[in-house]
Structure formats: C-alpha cells, structure tokens
Structure 1
Amino acid sequence: MTTILQGMQMLFVAFGALVLVPLLTGLDPNVALFGAGIGTLLFQFITKRSVPIFLASSFAFIAPILYGVQTWGVAATMGGLMAAGVVYVLLGGLIHLRGVQIIHKLLPPVVVGPVIMVIGLGLAPVAVNMALGKTGDGAVQLVDGSIALWIALASLLTTIIVSVYAKGFLKLLPIFSGIAVGYALSLMAGIVDFTPVQQAAWFGLPNFTAPEFNINAILFMILWRLPQQ
C-alpha cells in the first residue's frame, strides 16, 4: 500500500508539471504526455528500473519555448529542443566515461545556482496567479479569488504539517496529502467542473509538429540548456 500511495504521489506531482508546461506555452499536452511516456519507459529499460523516476516537462524551458515560438515558430523551436536533447545525451555519455567532476569544473555552483534561482523566480508569478484563482498569466479569473486563496493556503499548510510533524509512512506523502485536502475543499466549494471530462473524447491522437532545424533556434536552446545540466 505504501508503494502504491507513493506512486500516486509521484504521478500527481509529475502530471501537474507535465500538463502545465504545454498549457503555459501553447503547445499540445497530448504530445507532452506521449513523449513523457516513451521517455520514461526508455529510461526505466536502460537503467533496469533502478531509479524510481517519471520524466515530465521541464519548467526550465517555459521561457525559451515562449521566446522561440514567437521568434522562429513552433517547428523551429521543436528542432532546437531536439538539438538540446542530443547535447544532453552526449553530456550523459561524457559523465559516464569521465565522471561527474568534469561537469562540476565546466559548470560550477556559482553558474548553476543563479540559473535555478531565475527559474524559480520566473515561475513565482504563475504560482501566485493560480493561488488567486487565475490562469497562469493572470489574464482570466477562473475562480473567486478569496475561495481559491483559502484552498491554496490549506493545501500548502497540509503539505508542510505532514512533512514536518507526521509519523510513519504518512510522512512520506506530504504532497499527496496536500492535493487530497485541496481537492476535497474544491469539491465542497463547488468549483470542480466535470463537464469537460464528460464531453472529452475517449481517444485522441497527439498533434505532432514536424521539426525544422534553424541554426539560431538550435544554438539558443543548447546555450539555455547547458547551465542546467
């Protein structure tokens, strides 16, 4: 049971990030789901299931994807992301052969730290807008702000309390507990709408876009990716 609940927690955490990134960047969530599934299966096969991990969308790419789509279009941006992925694989091979210290020499904490801070600070407005019941960009009010804020605070406090004060196996499920409390309060407040679920098709195909290889987009994505290794 503990393994099942931990797996559900991982699913909820990864799924939220997986769907949110394409929604914020205007891309197709079905493509993200498909890619994450294939990537996770390959990862587990290659590592022989030695690492319990699910590969999902990276928040680090929200800003460059938005810029790339506006500047070069979706196809060229996808080509740049593919190139960044190839570089990631090559660096993985280099680490396997030479050890992780070579990356620490090329990209010391003084470089990586600010990049992580920029990513977090860049996403902070999105989190605040959503906690206030708005869309990520704050353009549309989806839920009454006061109700949304109370639900967000209850979820946050539940997560913190379980993480700090819970005992036994419950201490392993802080995020799951926060999600459960937030969802229960949302049901009680009547802000959960099942209409889109009822109207959704049972089956759907991802809207794939053939990549284009624009040298400017490729260099941009690679340079953005390197400090985040």
Structure 2
Amino acid sequence: MSDSSFTNLRTILAGSQMLFVAFGALVLMPLLTGLNPSVALFTAGIGTLLFHAVTKNSVPVFLASSFVFIAPITYSTQTWGVSATMGALFAAGLVYMVLALLVKIKGSGFMHRIMPPVVTGPVIMVIGLGLAPIAVNMAMGKTGDGAIELFPYQDAMIVSMIALLTTLLVATLAKGVFRLVPILAGVLVGYVAASAMGMVDLTKVAEAPVFAMPEFVTPEFNLAAILFMLPVAIAPAIEHVGDVLAIGNVTGKNYLKKPGLHRTLLGDGIATSAASLFGGPPNTTYSEVTGAVMLTKAFNPKIMIWASIFAILLAFVSKFGVLLQTIPAPVMGGILILLFGSIASVGLNTLVKARVDMSEQRNLVIVSTTLVFGIGGMAIGNGDLNLQGVSLCGLVAIALNLILPMHETVADDLHEEQAVVEDMVSHGKS
C-alpha cells in the first residue's frame, strides 16, 4: 500500500471515529423531541458539508443536533406541528446569518457588547434547568411531561440509574477516546439492562426493511411558530464563539480571523436552515468532537468530511433508525439527568469565568429575572402568539442589559471584558 493510500485510509477511519464520538448526543436529541433519528443523521452530514463549504474546509468541526432547541421544538411541535416547527427552525437559521452579517460589518466584539456573560450565563442555565423535569420524569418511567406512566417505577429507576452511573463512570474514569463517549456508553449499557427487564420491543425492527429513504418532512411557515423560535437562536450563537475559540486553541490557529467568525456563523446558520428543509433538528458544533480532535491530534478538516459521509450513508439504513427508536424512556432519562445538569453548569461557569459580581444590583437583577422568567414558565402574549421559556428570557436578559444603567465600576469591567474578547480575536487566545 502506498503512503498516500495509507494516509487516505487513516483519514477515512478517523472520520468514522469522529461520528462515533458525536453519535450518542446526535441521535438523543431527535429521540427526545419526536423527530426522526435517521433524518437527524442525514441532516448532520449535510449540515457539516455545507459548513465546510462556507468556511473553505478550514475548521475541523462536526455539526449535529443542538440540545438548546429541545424544549422549544417540543413545545412547537405540540402546538403547531412538525412542519410548522421546521419552518420556524429555518427562520432561526436566518438569525445566525443576520448575526454573521453584523459581525462582518461591526467586528467580532459586537456580539459580546449586546450579549455579555451576564446575559448568556443565565440564559444557558435556563436551558438546562428548564429541561430538568423532563429528565426526571423519563428516569421514573414516565413520558417527558409526566402525564403517562410507560414503565413500572421500580423497574424504570433501576434501568435509569444504571444508565446514569455508566455515563458518570465513563465520563470521569475512562481513558483515551472512550472518555469522549459517555452518552453512547450509557445508552448501550442502559439498553442492555432495559432489554433484560423486558422493556425493549424489537418487533418493528424485524419488520423494517434494511435500507429505506429517511422520512423527510417539508417545512411550512407559521408566523406564530417563527416568532416563538427566533429568539432561541441567541444562546447557541453566543456559544458558537466559544466553540470556535476552543477548536482554535486545540489546533493553534485563529479561526476568528481566518476563515473569520462571520463565515463560521454563516456556516452554522446555513446548516441549521438546510436541516429544517428535510425535517432535521438545528445543527451546532460538537464539543465532544473538539475533545476528540485534541486527543487524537486529528487536525485535518477532511476527517470531518468523511464523518459527514458516514452519517449520510447510515441515515439510509432503515433497521438501524428503527432500532434507535426502541430505546426506552428510562435509559434516556438517566443520561439526561447528567446532560441537562451539565448544560446548566456551563451557564454557571460562564458567570464564574467572567467574574460577574452578583453583589452588584444590576447584575443581580438581570440574572434573577432571567432565571425566574425562564424556569418559572412565564409567558407573554395570548393564544398562539406568545413568548415563553428560552425565547422570552433571552430577550428579557438582552433588554435589561441594554436598558439598566451601569455604575462606573461595572462599565469599566465590561470594557475590560470587551478588550479581552478583542484580544482573542486578534491573537487567537482564550
């Protein structure tokens, strides 16, 4: 075998490994929201390819299902249906594109000025804490809303705690690449435990064809659903900046300059809007894959192209897609206890790392109001035209930050934060 052939084979195998790392979280999100996991695989592949086309194949990232959108998608599908939700998600992708244009015009510090840590921190916390009841209900054998008991409480708790314990142990004790797949490990061990307790029904898997076209859904455009979904894009757009900085630190390159934050944001937006055209969940960069890149030193973006191709091909294996849908609720519930808690912790860490002074009344007002609005279920508006959850608290946090006057010390701190961000942009440091 020639050196070039060996290099190509190694790149292909590395691509399959990256999909393996992302796989657990990738399929869990559509399973939670009632979307088709095979479609999610397809749109993750398509979205990643589009991202690399926009960024000129320069950033080694893989895009897949965003957990930020779990609660909004669940509410939207129940209220307006799947097709209207896809239309709303298409519009959410456009928000990224608008932000990309503003970043190109005003510079990378623009996003930090209107959405500093005191805004993004509590919004991210709301995402995780707002989803906590879903995880607990599923862990106890109920549907996410707790309305229906799917499995006996005792059996469900045994299975969910096995899945949770496996995920915890792999995340903290595993070595090498295995430490990057705690969700996948939790699903596999939990599934075996659930199967042993008679919770798994494989009838539909046996009846399904080996290969079939994924069940694509075309979007419809409903104004109420769109207005509800648009603000949700704020939090993941801000997280995107952190993801780009993180992968830049791993590879030693400044992606905020080349290809530029405006291009990476545009790539995320196009990937999200494209996914909605097929009935898939919004796409976001995966920190698990960034961790795998750091561990394996696999800096070649072509590896992610191969991961995308494998995801697209796997989407057409119908039996596999149906098998994923047989994962019992307690298995997912156990894993989600850790996952949703981790999201909330990221929000808290955002406040801590930025040294947001909670003894300052202005900061306290923004954070506390945002948390209660988001977690408490505050809704503004009547009928279908209303804002609630992440949509509402995101807008409230931004508005309060812009309206409330700053004391001189707070303004100085904010200017210092902006200087740090500008330095990141200039030198690719964090």
Tell me the amino acid that sits aligned with residue 16 of structure 1. Answer: L
Q: Map of 1:64-83 to 2, 5 A cutoff?
A: 66-67=75-76, 70=79, 76-83=84-91
From 41, 55, 67, give the equivalent of 2:64.
Answer: 55
Summarize the Cα distance change of 1:174–1:96 in structure 2 as closer, same or farther, 3 Å threshold.
farther
SS in 1 for 2:130: helix
SS in 1 for 2:63: coil
Tell me the amino acid that sits aligned with residue 141 of structure 1. Answer: E
CA distance in 1, matches of 2:90, 2:200: 37
Tell me, yes or no, if the aligned pair for 1:78 and 1:211 is still in contact at 8 Å: yes
Deviates more, 1:57-66 or 1:126-135: 57-66
Tell me the amino acid that sits aligned with residue 13 of structure 1. Answer: A
Which residue matches 2:44?
A: 36
Tell me the amino acid that sits aligned with residue 137 of structure 1. Answer: D
Tell me the amino acid that sits aligned with residue 177 of structure 1. Answer: A
CA distance in 1, matches of 2:203, 2:192: 18
Q: CA deviation at 1:104?
A: 1.0
Summarize the Cα distance change of 1:35–1:9 in structure 2 as closer, same or farther, 3 Å threshold.
closer
Tell me the amino acid that sits aligned with residue 55 of structure 1. Answer: A
Per-residue deviation, residues 148-173 of structure 1 (Å, max 9, x unmatched): 21121122222222222334444333
From 20, 24, 33, give the equivalent of 1:8.
Answer: 20
Which residue matches 2:172?
A: 164
CA distance in 2, matches of 1:152, 1:103: 40
From 189, 196, 203, give the equivalent of 1:195.
Answer: 203
From 210, 234, 244, give the equivalent of 1:226.
Answer: 234
Q: CA deviation at 1:112?
A: 1.3
From 133, 151, 155, give the equivalent of 1:125.
Answer: 133
Q: CA deviation at 1:132?
A: 1.3
Identity of aligned residues (%): 41
- Stretches of structure 2 that go unaligned for 5 or more consecutive residues are 1-9, 238-430
From 92, 95, 98, give the equivalent of 1:90.
Answer: 98
Computed over aligned residues only, the root mean square deviation of the Cα atoms, in angstroms, reads 3.2
Higher RCO by CA contacts (8 Å cutoff, separation 6 or greater): 2
Tell me the amino acid that sits aligned with residue 159 of structure 2. Answer: I
CA distance in 1, matches of 2:149, 2:52: 40
Summarize the Cα distance change of 1:66–1:29 in structure 2 as closer, same or farther, 3 Å threshold.
farther
Tell me, yes or no, if the aligned pair for 1:69 and 1:77 is still in contact at 8 Å: no
Q: CA deviation at 1:65?
A: 6.0
Tell me, yes or no, if the aligned pair for 1:18 and 1:33 is still in contact at 8 Å: no
Tell me, yes or no, if the aligned pair for 1:65 and 1:77 is still in contact at 8 Å: no
CA distance in 2, matches of 1:7, 1:228: 21
Summarize the Cα distance change of 1:96–1:176 in structure 2 as closer, same or farther, 3 Å threshold.
farther
Q: CA deviation at 1:133?
A: 1.7
> Runs of at least 4 residues of structure 1 off by over 4 A?
1-6, 27-34, 72-77, 96-99
Report the count of equivalent residues: 223
Deviates more, 1:200-209 or 1:131-140: 200-209
SS in 2 for 1:135: coil
Tell me, yes or no, if the aligned pair for 2:23 and 2:184 is still in contact at 8 Å: no
Tell me, yes or no, if the aligned pair for 2:160 and 2:190 is still in contact at 8 Å: yes
Tell me, yes or no, if the aligned pair for 1:18 and 1:56 is still in contact at 8 Å: yes
Is 1:206 the counterpart of 2:215? The answer is yes
Deviates more, 1:89-98 or 1:118-127: 89-98
Tell me, yes or no, if the aligned pair for 2:124 and 2:235 is still in contact at 8 Å: no
CA distance in 2, matches of 1:157, 1:114: 28
Q: CA deviation at 1:137?
A: 1.9
Q: CA deviation at 1:34?
A: 4.5
Per-residue deviation, residues 1-35 of structure 1 (Å, max 9, x unmatched): 995555323112211113322x1xxx666655544
CA distance in 2, matches of 1:159, 1:29: 21
From 41, 46, 49, give the equivalent of 2:54.
Answer: 46
Summarize the Cα distance change of 1:30–1:224 in structure 2 as closer, same or farther, 3 Å threshold.
same
SS in 2 for 1:178: helix
Tell me, yes or no, if the aligned pair for 1:133 and 1:148 is still in contact at 8 Å: yes
Tell me, yes or no, if the aligned pair for 2:26 and 2:40 is still in contact at 8 Å: no
CA distance in 1, matches of 2:38, 2:180: 30
Which residue matches 1:139?
A: 147
Q: CA deviation at 1:176?
A: 3.0
CA distance in 2, matches of 1:195, 1:108: 51
Q: CA deviation at 1:107?
A: 0.7
Which residue matches 2:190?
A: 182
Deviates more, 1:132-141 or 1:93-102: 93-102
Deviates more, 1:3-12 or 1:113-122: 3-12
Is 1:17 the counterpart of 2:26? The answer is no
Q: CA deviation at 1:136?
A: 1.6
CA distance in 2, matches of 1:126, 1:109: 27
